[in-house]
């Protein structure tokens, strides 16, 4: 995957910094600008930051974003990108493991959360899973912890998921995100972040 200037601008909308990993894992701005609108006027907990592409979209809409990242290289890229976007005063960067109670309990107050765990594919036989997944942090554990702190949560999940795995979760909107004909991601929205309860599509 490329992380050159032209590709970064095409995917994220400006001349940001990224390496091949943060380029690949970052969410296209054609999606994030719409997802972020649901966080308008909110105080948002974001996990995980990556190079800050979702952080920037959220900070444009929210009152404040506190964003947690375990990898110092990713966090430094995010800091540079948020500064380039002119949004440093709206973002608090927290370094550490979001599964560490002290990290989450030490965050400034938030009323909603955006979760984007790392779905790195590590072999051709990789199967995308929600429950007992090998993602970092595990998506089901992360969602359960954060739903215990706020019911207004959105979580990004990969496209090739058996959606029967989502049965048993609190009522939510499941949005399929398409670029052209290709389904890139799912986003689940809980409680007041949902605009309907059922399946919806965002096509870009």
Ligand X SMILES: C[S@@+](CC[C@H](N)C(=O)[O-])C[C@H]1O[C@@H](n2cnc3c(N)ncnc32)[C@H](O)[C@@H]1O
CB 47 within 8 A of CB 98: yes
Regarding 184 and contact with ligand X (CB under 6 A), the answer is no
User: How big is the CA angle at 9 (ends 4 and 15), to the nearest 5 degrees?
Assistant: 80
Regarding 76 and contact with ligand X (CB under 6 A), the answer is no
Stretch that binds ligand X, among 2-10, 46-54, 163-171, 175-183 (CB under 6 A): 46-54
User: How big is the CA angle at 29 (ends 110 and 87), to the nearest 5 degrees?
Assistant: 50
Regarding 158 and contact with ligand X (CB under 6 A), the answer is no
What is the Cα–Cα distance from 89 to 15, expressed in whole angstroms? 20
- For residues 87 to 106, the per-residue mask of contacts with ligand X, x marking binding by CB under 6 A and - elsewhere, is ----------xxx-------
Concatenating the DSSP letter of every residue in 94-147 gives: EES-TTSHHHHHTSPP-SEEEE--B----STT----STT---BS-HHHHHHHHH
- Selected binder of ligand X within 31, 85, 91, 116 (CB under 6 A): 116
Regarding 69 and contact with ligand X (CB under 6 A), the answer is yes
- For residues 2 to 41, the per-residue mask of contacts with ligand X, x marking binding by CB under 6 A and - elsewhere, is -----------------------xxx--------------
- Selected binder of ligand X within 17, 50, 150, 158 (CB under 6 A): 50
What is the Cα–Cα distance from 111 to 152, expressed in whole angstroms? 7
Q: How far is the CB of 166 from ligand X (least distance, A)?
A: 19
What is the Cα–Cα distance from 181 to 141, expressed in whole angstroms? 31
Residues that bind ligand X (CB under 6 A): 25-27, 47-48, 50-54, 68-71, 74, 97-99, 116-118, 136-137
């Amino acid at each position: 995957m490329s992380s050159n200037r032209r590709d970064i601008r095409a995917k994220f909308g400006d001349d940001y910094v990224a390496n091949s990993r943060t380029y690949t894992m970052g969410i296209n701005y054609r999606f994030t600008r719409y997802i972020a609108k649901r966080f308008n006027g909110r105080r948002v907990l974001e996990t995980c930051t990556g190079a800050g592409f979702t952080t920037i979209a959220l900070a444009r809409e929210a009152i404040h974003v506190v964003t947690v990242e375990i990898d110092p290289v990713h966090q430094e890229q995010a800091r540079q990108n948020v500064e380039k976007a002119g949004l440093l005063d709206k973002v608090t960067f927290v370094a550490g493991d979001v599964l560490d109670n002290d990290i989450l309990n030490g965050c400034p107050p938030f009323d909603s959360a955006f979760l984007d765990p790392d779905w790195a594919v590590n072999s051709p036989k990789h199967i995308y899973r929600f429950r007992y997944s090998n993602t970092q942090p595990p998506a089901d554990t992360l969602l359960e912890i954060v739903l215990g702190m706020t019911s207004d949560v959105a979580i990004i999940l990969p496209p090739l998921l058996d959606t029967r795995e989502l049965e048993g979760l609190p009522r939510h909107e499941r949005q399929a995100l398409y670029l052209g004909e290709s389904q890139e991601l799912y986003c689940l929205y809980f409680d007041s972040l949902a605009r309907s309860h059922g399946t919806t599509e965002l096509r870009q």
